[in-house]
Each structure stands twice: as C-alpha cells, then as structure tokens.
Amino acid sequence: MANNIFRTKSVEQLMAETNKGGNSLKRVLGPMDLIALGIGAIIGTGIFVLTGVVAANYSGPALIVSFIVSGLACAFAALCYAEFAAMVPVAGSAYTYGYAALGEFWAWIIGWDLILEYMVAVAAVAIGWSGYACNLLKAAGINLPVALTAAPGVAPGAIVNLPAILIIALITSLLIIGIRQSSWVNNVIVVIKIAVVLLFIALGVSHINPANWTPFMPFGWNGVMTGAAVVFFAYIGFDAVSTAAEEVKNPQRDLPIGIVVSLLVCTVLYIVVSAILTGMVPYTQFKEVSAPVAFALAQVGVQWGSAAVAVGAICGITSVLLVMALGQTRVLFAMSRDGLLPRIFGQVSSKFGTPVKSTLLTGVISAILAGFTPIGVVAELTNIGTLAAFVVVSASVIYLRKTKPELNRPFKCPGAPFTPILAIIFCLYLIFSLPLITQIRFLVWLAIGLVVYFAYGRKNSVLAKQDSLVA
C-alpha cells in the first residue's frame, strides 16, 4: 500500500541498491582503516576537554566510574551495531538498519535524528578546534582579531568564527576528493594523537598523589551518573564506522572488527587517563579549565609536555571533524537515494567516487552554524541523538532475530536478547539523566522532522513509488 509508512526494505533490496550504476561508492577500506576511523572519531573533545569539566562538576575522582558506565552502554550498543553492520553493509548506519527492521517511518525518525547529531557535532567540534588553534597561535605571538575568531554575541566585537569555517572547508574538500585520501589523512592524525595520549600517561603516572582521589565520590552516585551522561560525548564516533559500510572491501568481516576494537582501545585509554588526571591535580582545580590534560602537566611543571598535548588535541579534534562529517554525508546520501530527501543528494560523482553534493551541503550548513552561532548547550543534542539511535538499533536486533531468524548473520551479537536489552536500558537511563531542556529541544527537532516526512518523504520515497506502480 502506498500509504504504508511502516513498509520495510529487505536486506536483498538494500544490497542490490549499492550496485546500481552511478550510485556505487568505492570499496577501498580495510580493518585497520576502520579501527583508525573509529579511534579518529572517538578520541578528541571528550578526552581533551570534557574530562576536567565532568570531574569538577559531577564525578570528582569517580570520573573513572563515569567512563566505565558510559563505556558499558556503548559496548552493548556496539555489539548490536556490529551484527547489523556485517548483515547489512550499506551506507546510512542506524537509518538503514531501521529501514530493514522497523520500517520507513522509524527509519526516517532515526535518519532525521542522525542528521541533527552529526551536523551539530561537526559545528561544535569545529568551534573547539578554533579555540585550540587560536590559543596556540597566541602562544606563538600571533593574535587574531576577536572579530574573526568568535560568533556574534560570544565576545564584544565578534563577527564570525573564521578558523571554524576554514577547518570545515578543508575537511569538506578532503571528503570530496575521496575516501581513500580522507582515510590516509585520518590514519596519520590518529597515530599522532595516540602518541600524545600515551605521552601524557607516561609523564603523568609518576606525578600521581593518591590523596587527590579522596573523597572519591564527592557528588554521590547521582553525580557519577550525570557525569556518565555527559562524558558519553567522549564515546560518540564508533557508530560512524558503520556509515562507511559501502566503502569497505570485506564488510562482513571487517566492520565488526573496526567497531568493537576501536571502542575497546578508546575505553581503556579513557579509564587510564581519567585515573591519572584526577590523581595528578585535585579535581576542584579543573572548574574553569578548558584544556585539562595540558593543564595537569603544566601544574606539575612539565611545560613541554603541556605544549605537546595541546598540539595533540588539535590533531585529535581534526580527526573527529573528519569522521563526523563523513558520517553526516553518508546518512544524507542514503536517505536521498531512498527518495526521503531530494534525490540530487544521493548521486555519486563519476570523477571522485564520492557523494559530492551531499558533502557540500553538509559542509555549508556546518560552516554557517560554526561561524555564526554560539553552540553552547545545543551540543548536548549530539548526546541525546546518539543515545536514541543506539536504542533503535538495539531494538531492531531483537525484532529481526524474532521475525527473520533465517537471515545470514556473519557476526552475531553475543548474549542476545539480553545484550540488546541492556543496551536499551543503559541508553534510556542516560537519556533521562540529561537536562530537561535538551530533551525538549530534541522533541522539537523530531516534530519538525515529522512535518518534512509527511510533506515530502512519504510520497517521494522509492518504496512509495514502487507501491503505486504495483497498485
């Protein structure tokens, strides 16, 4: 029926669409590329910025527990993602999985959600990159005018955040040129920032004062859980690995490896860094600090290490920008190819083998947001959007296991249905731990999405047109 908003796409349909002439992406990525993509997206703003904020305001030295709780929520969700990514190696991530399991309406909801998640994340991270870059230039004696380094209203005389716009323009150009080149740049950046994180661990471990870990949980268990909901931002990114599914040489084998290994590596690094960080400096000193890792090294007298960490932070944030922008373009590409958004954004360039138009659209909107908007608390929408996506993917695993047990699953989520259920419980708990205003903003965005779907997407979707031909 043409009006059946819960129509689904079979796995066979989804796979067939990836091979249509003119809409095929190049399969060039291997397992190490995917692991680097995951690490590139995960390690960035979370570890270099949020650690101090959460320690000072929510968790105290129990920051390590907050990271463990968020890591568990992500681990359960990651196993669900891995099952879908191996079974349906198609661009679009949770959007595509929702289409296969729950139907077009839920696919639209989660796709609209992902557009918000990635677009806001790219803009917010670009603003963070601009701040670090301006600080480094200032340390080198180069002072950029306020008018060109902040959005209107952020500081007196501010007009535009030009560095944020320029870095998004650079990332957009790189993504247009090709996934292979983008992946190579990301791999180099990941090596640099992993080296910087390991350098901090090596330098900081000898400056730990166990007295700084007391009291361990100054804000109680509620503080730890609120901290977990906030540091969840530090884990966002492993899901972006699945958005590149159509560009992987052996997706059934390599996607689960990329998702699970990148999350595992980052979780271990986060736990170690948070333990050392709160052991080096009393958590109360991070109250007004925007670069806690560099600050901690400076406080114990390791100035050169502090400078090295600042450089590593810029590298880390750059790779986050790259992978988040990649994720946004691939979700937009998948939704447009399905007809839920204008088809022009679902086209692949014959010259570059990339979705140039969707990449340009993503770059332009993100640059406008980053250059002229003080993002502020809106960045929390990234967290709630991601958590909602995790809930849908986990529910889809349970549903498909029941309704289509015969499907080929190269990787099976262990412990199903209990693992997906735990993922849903953890993610919902974290959603309700976020501020009420964030939940309201998220509902407003979804309401706008419903208007767009019923006004355009429902009648223009590929499945709707197929149904009308049959009728």
Whole-structure pTM value: 0.78
3-state class (DSSP) for residue 149: strand
Interatomic CA distance for residues 458 and 224, integer angstroms: 43
What's the structural domain count of the chain?
1
What pLDDT digit, counting tens, does each position of 131-190 carry? 778 877 877 788 888 888 877 776 788 888 899 999 999 999 988 887 667 778 778 888
Interatomic CA distance for residues 93 and 14, integer angstroms: 12
What's the chain's Rg over C-alpha atoms? 22
Of 252 and 414, the structure prediction assigns the larger pLDDT to 414
* CATH of residue 384: 1.20.1740.10
What mean pLDDT do residues 363-367 have? Answer: 91
What's residue 238's pLDDT? 75
Tell me how far the alpha carbon of residue 60 is from its chain's centroid.
25
Mean pLDDT of the chain: 84
What's residue 353's pLDDT? 77
Of 22 and 361, the structure prediction assigns the larger pLDDT to 361
Place 281 in a pLDDT band, splitting at 50, 70 and 90. Answer: very high
DSSP class of residue 250 equals S
With beta carbons less than 8 A apart as the criterion, state whether 158 and 165 touch. no
pLDDT over 90 for what percent of the chain?
Answer: 20
Residue 14 lies in a domain: no
Residue 15 lies in a domain: no
The type of residue at 180 is R
Residue 92 lies in a domain: yes
Q: What is the domain extent for residue 93?
A: 28-461
Interatomic CA distance for residues 383 and 236, integer angstroms: 8
What's residue 408's pLDDT? 85
Integer CA distances (angstroms), 360 to 23, 173, 175, 328, 345, in order: 17, 8, 9, 11, 9
Residue 118 lies in a domain: yes
What pLDDT digit, counting tens, does each position of 297-308 carry? 888 888 888 888
What mean pLDDT do residues 265-289 have? Answer: 90
Write phi, then psi, for 8 (nearest 5 degrees). -115, 165
Token couple for 26: 């190049």
- Of 428, 432, 341, 418, whose CA–CA distance to 392 is shortest? 428
Residue 1 lies in a domain: no
Integer CA distances (angstroms), 90 to 240, 426, 434, 442, in order: 12, 27, 31, 27
What's residue 179's pLDDT? 67
With beta carbons less than 8 A apart as the criterion, state whether 81 and 393 touch. yes
What's residue 379's pLDDT? 58
What's residue 21's pLDDT? 53
Residue 21 lies in a domain: no
Interatomic CA distance for residues 406 and 415, integer angstroms: 18
Residue 142 lies in a domain: yes
Indicate if the pLDDT at residue 1 is higher than 50. Answer: no
Of 136 and 403, the structure prediction assigns the larger pLDDT to 403
Residue 471 lies in a domain: no
What pLDDT digit, counting tens, does each position of 428-450 carry? 988 887 778 888 888 999 999 99
